């Protein structure tokens, strides 16, 4: 576990860079978290996915897999990879401040 | 009063549940109805052997209704939906089946259409799956005609049935081309979305080492976006490409479509939202799920359905008596992994405990996570056991539903 300062606040991250406590996350951290993942411009679709990831996490206790995301978030799997080229479920989970989705091993 | 149990799906889980319930309750106490879309019960583990000429299609099929004990009704029909609030199943033709207890056992469905190009040019010519009977049969011919080149085995996405089967396919392909004397002309590659050969770390490192020893290349974290049969390549969502002359693809799996048409029953992939320990659905107390249809974090395997059966029938009994459910499933799975040259490995694990070395079911028994001839015989024996013990719902002396810890080298 490491402590990082994101948008001026201290947060705890695990060894793979996922939030230990999703409650420490705030929306104003998103640009900086995204930049850490090499995503420098955020459009509405990015936000749609990030908000959806959090909603799913709080409803089900885990973030969705890419395939489930493609079926339920309103953004297709192809687009998801364009938005988060290095792996939508993992990268979006890091930016959304939730633990690593259980389905993506 | 006679109560109604309706079981949707007459495959592994549905059949063994019906038979176990029939032994437990008299006909006056319980009417049991099993619904399936077709009449042929396929021994699916045999599909692995078929492409290599080690099994024959007709030997893997038996009539579905003949696997059900006397006093169980069999209905052949597709299913329109479950009316959860109305406690009834609506069949495709409009017929309705009211239930006091519903068991969902309709397994997992292959959805090759969900992957771009997979069922396009080259499908069933140079692109096959061995996960169903037509695919495995077509692949047998294609392998026989194969004289050399690149074969890729591609898992498109998890979850899949029997997650070790793609590895077994690679091991058997290595053996098969050795036997034919052309192994040096065949390049074998396993392409997986996982970050290793298998989901569980200790088994993954052991199996990864075996792939390497057998000269099977491993491509990890590959998310297949398209299967281009004409150009002969897999294209990843990250634009990586893997060329092939012959592709053996395990398509994505979903639950049955009627689950999606029944509000509240399933998740995004139409698998039934199920309590991992009681097997009760989350949507209603009188609905239970068994086998591949459930969204449990367990392997989708026949052995899992077998271990679940004991717990499920106990919990249905308790439910009918108005008692609290307390029988608990631990996620126990037990899988033989065929490794070629008449050898196999055995892994035994549950929700918490990953596969480790040792022996099963106790300190004296089959070696775990270690290649042996004995395990290969075990794998072959499983077919007899499936028809004569597992489906009839018999318990095996010394082998319980809970995963045994004695005999395992647990740190
Ligand atoms: C290639 C391969 C190799 C395997 N190897 C092994 C192995 O070595 N060991 C092992 O333990 N497991 C193995 N398995 C997995 C095992 O076969 C399954 O996990 C097991 O059969 C699951 O049982 P089930 O009852 O959940 O589903 P199934 O046995 O698949 O039964 C589902 C039933 O529901 C019916 N159905 C589905 N939809 C509908 C509908 N809409 N209307 C009416 N009926 C419907 C189907 O016709 C089917 O009969 C393998 C599977 C495959 C594909």
What tens digit of pLDDT does each residue of B225-241 get?
999 999 999 999 989 99
From the list A72, A85, A86, which residue is nearest B268 (CB)? A72
- CB count, 10 Å around CB of B274? 24
Note whether B260 and B303 are same-domain residues: yes
Q: Do A64 and B268 touch (CB under 8 A)?
A: yes
Instruction: Tell me which residue range forms the domain holding A13.
Output: 2-96
Note whether B226 and B116 are same-domain residues: yes
- Measure B150 CA to nearest chain A CA, in Å: 27
Active site residues of A: 104
The reply to whether B397 falls in a domain is: no
Cα separation values, B14 from B8, B33, B333, Å: 7, 10, 18
Establish whether residue B340 lines the binding site of ligand 1, counting it when its CB lies within 6 angstroms of any ligand atom: no
Q: Where are the alpha helices (DSSP H) in B59-200?
A: 133-145, 165-179
The reply to whether B402 falls in a domain is: no
Closest chain A CA to residue B192:
A105
Assign B326 a pLDDT band (cuts: 50, 70, 90): confident
Q: What is the pLDDT of residues B177-202, one digit of tens each?
A: 999 999 999 999 999 999 899 988 89
CA dist., res. B143 & res. B123, Å (int): 15
Closest ligand 1 atom to the C-alpha of B299? 19
ipTM of model: 0.84
pLDDT of residue B39: 98
The reply to whether B396 falls in a domain is: no
From the list A68, A87, A102, which residue is nearest B268 (CB)? A68
Residue A90: CATH number of its domain: 1.10.10.370
Note whether B60 and B144 are same-domain residues: no
Counting Cβ atoms within 10 Å, is residue A2 exposed (0-12), middle (13-18) or buried (19+)? exposed
The reply to whether A105 falls in a domain is: no
- Measure A9 CA to nearest chain B CA, in Å: 33
B292: left (phi over 0), alpha (psi -120 to 50) or beta: alpha
Assign A104 a pLDDT band (cuts: 50, 70, 90): very low
Chain A environment of B223 (Cβ under 8 Å): 66, 81, 87
Closest chain A CA to residue B298:
A103
pLDDT of residue B1: 84
Q: pTM for this structure? A: 0.95
The reply to whether A37 falls in a domain is: yes
Chain A residues with a Cβ under 8 Å from any Cβ in chain B: 64-68, 71-72, 77-78, 81, 85-87, 102-103, 105
Instruction: Tell me which residue range forms the domain holding B182.
Output: 112-252
Look at chain B and report how many structural domains it folds into: 3
The reply to whether B138 falls in a domain is: yes
Q: What is the pLDDT of residues B69-90, one digit of tens each?
A: 999 999 999 999 999 999 999 9
CA dist., res. B272 & res. B267, Å (int): 6
Q: Do A68 and B267 touch (CB under 8 A)?
A: yes
Note whether B259 and B243 are same-domain residues: no
Pocket test for ligand 1, best of B75, B292, B382 (most atoms within 8 A of CB): B292
CA dist., res. B409 & res. B329, Å (int): 22
Closest ligand 1 atom to the C-alpha of B64? 49
The reply to whether B78 falls in a domain is: yes
Structure tokens at B21: 């319930």
CA dist., res. B215 & res. B339, Å (int): 13
The reply to whether B410 falls in a domain is: no
Q: b/e for B238-253, b at 16 or more Cβ within 10 A?
A: eeeebebebbbbbbbb
Structure tokens at B215: 């000269």
- In this predicted structure, the answer to whether residue A87 has a pLDDT above a threshold of 90 is no
Q: Do B223 and A85 touch (CB under 8 A)?
A: no
The reply to whether B181 falls in a domain is: yes
Q: B40-44, B65-69, B83-87, B296-300 — which is least confidently predicted?
A: B296-300
Look at chain A and report how many structural domains it folds into: 1
Chain B environment of A102 (Cβ under 8 Å): 297
């Amino acid at each position: 576990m490491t402590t990082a300062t994101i948008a001026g606040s201290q947060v705890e991250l695990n060894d793979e860079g996922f939030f230990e406590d999703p409650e420490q996350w705030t929306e104003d951290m998103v640009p900086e978290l995204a930049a850490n993942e090499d995503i420098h411009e955020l459009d509405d679709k990015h936000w749609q996915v990030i908000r959806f990831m959090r909603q799913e996490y709080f409803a089900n206790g885990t973030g969705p897999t890419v395939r489930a995301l493609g079926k339920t978030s309103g953004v297709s799997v192809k687009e998801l990879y364009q938005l988060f080229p290095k792996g939508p479920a993992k990268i979006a989970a890091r930016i959304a401040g939730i633990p690593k989705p259980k389905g993506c091993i | 009063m006679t109560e109604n149990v309706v079981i949707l799906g007459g495959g592994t889980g549905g059949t063994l549940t019906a038979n176990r319930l029939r032994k437990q309750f008299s006909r006056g106490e319980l009417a049991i109805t099993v619904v399936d879309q077709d009449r042929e019960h396929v021994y699916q583990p045999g599909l692995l052997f078929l492409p290599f000429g080690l099994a024959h299609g007709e030997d893997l099929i038996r009539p579905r209704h003949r696997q059900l004990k006397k006093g169980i009704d069999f209905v052949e029909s597709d299913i329109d939906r479950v009316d959860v609030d109305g406690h009834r199943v609506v069949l495709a033709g409009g017929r309705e089946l009211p239930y006091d207890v519903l068991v969902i056992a309709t397994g997992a469905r292959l959805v090759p259409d969900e992957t771009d190009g997979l069922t396009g040019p080259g499908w069933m010519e140079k692109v096959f799956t061995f996960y169903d009977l037509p695919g495995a049969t077509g692949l047998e011919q294609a392998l026989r005609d194969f004289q050399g080149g690149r074969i890729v085995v591609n898992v498109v996405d998890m979850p899949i049935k029997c997650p070790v089967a793609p590895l077994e396919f690679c091991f058997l392909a290595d053996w098969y081309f050795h036997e034919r004397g052309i192994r040096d002309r065949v390049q074998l590659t396993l392409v997986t979305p996982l970050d290793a050969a298998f989901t569980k770390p200790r088994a993954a490192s052991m199996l990864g080492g075996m792939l390497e020893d057998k000269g099977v290349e491993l491509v990890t974290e590959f998310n297949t976006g398209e299967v281009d049969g004409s150009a002969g390549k897999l294209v990843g969502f990250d634009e990586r490409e893997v060329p092939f002359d012959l592709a053996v693809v395990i398509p994505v799996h979903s639950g049955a479509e009627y689950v999606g048409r029944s509000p509240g029953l399933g998740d995004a992939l139409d698998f039934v939202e199920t309590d991992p320990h009681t097997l009760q659905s989350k949507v209603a107390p009188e609905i239970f799920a068994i086998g591949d249809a459930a969204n449990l974090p367990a392997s989708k395997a026949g052995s899992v359905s077998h271990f679940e059966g004991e717990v499920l029938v106990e919990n249905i009994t308790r439910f009918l008596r108005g008692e609290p459910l307390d029988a608990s499933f631990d996620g126990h799975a037990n899988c033989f992994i065929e490794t070629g040259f008449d050898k196999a490995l055995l892994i035994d694990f549950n929700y918490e405990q990953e596969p480790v070395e040792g022996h099963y079911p106790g300190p004296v028994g089959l070696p775990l996570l270690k290649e042996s001839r004995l395990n290969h015989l075990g794998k072959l024996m499983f077919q007899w056991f499936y028809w004569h013990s597992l489906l009839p719902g018999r318990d095996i002396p010394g082998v319980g539903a809970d995963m045994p810890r004695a005999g395992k080298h647990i740190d």
